[in-house]
Amino acid sequence: MKRLPEIYESFVDDFESVTDAYSRLGEAIHAAGPLDERSRCLVKLGIAVGAESEGGVRSHVRKAFDAGLSRQEVEHAILLSLTTIGFPRMIAALQWSREVPGPE
């Protein structure tokens, strides 16, 4: 089983009904359009990279690996951000992604 951040696990325990509602919203959003799971994972990762969200990048890297994407695909998606968000932000996102254990 993958390890989730302690704060997230604590939030789930403390606010189960909110977590359930948030999960249902996410499922509805994913089902609302024609993108396949791999594409959705890469889009969400790109948004997290652009937002400079360390937790978001880590979360979406885990989800991308769970969806069958390789580390090379994930890193390519992050590299694509270079000309839009700049080197320092891209390299930070790359570092965060490399701290997530990859698929075995």
Each residue's pLDDT tens digit, 57-101: 999 999 999 999 999 999 999 999 999 999 999 999 999 999 999
Whether residue 1 has pLDDT greater than 50: no
Please provide the DSSP assignment of 64-104 as one string: HHHTT--HHHHHHHHHTTHHHH-HHHHHHHHHHHHTS----
3-state SS class at 29: helix
Whether residue 21 has pLDDT greater than 90: yes
pTM above 0.85, yes or no: yes
CB 61 within 8 A of CB 91: no
| CA-based end-to-end distance of the chain | 13
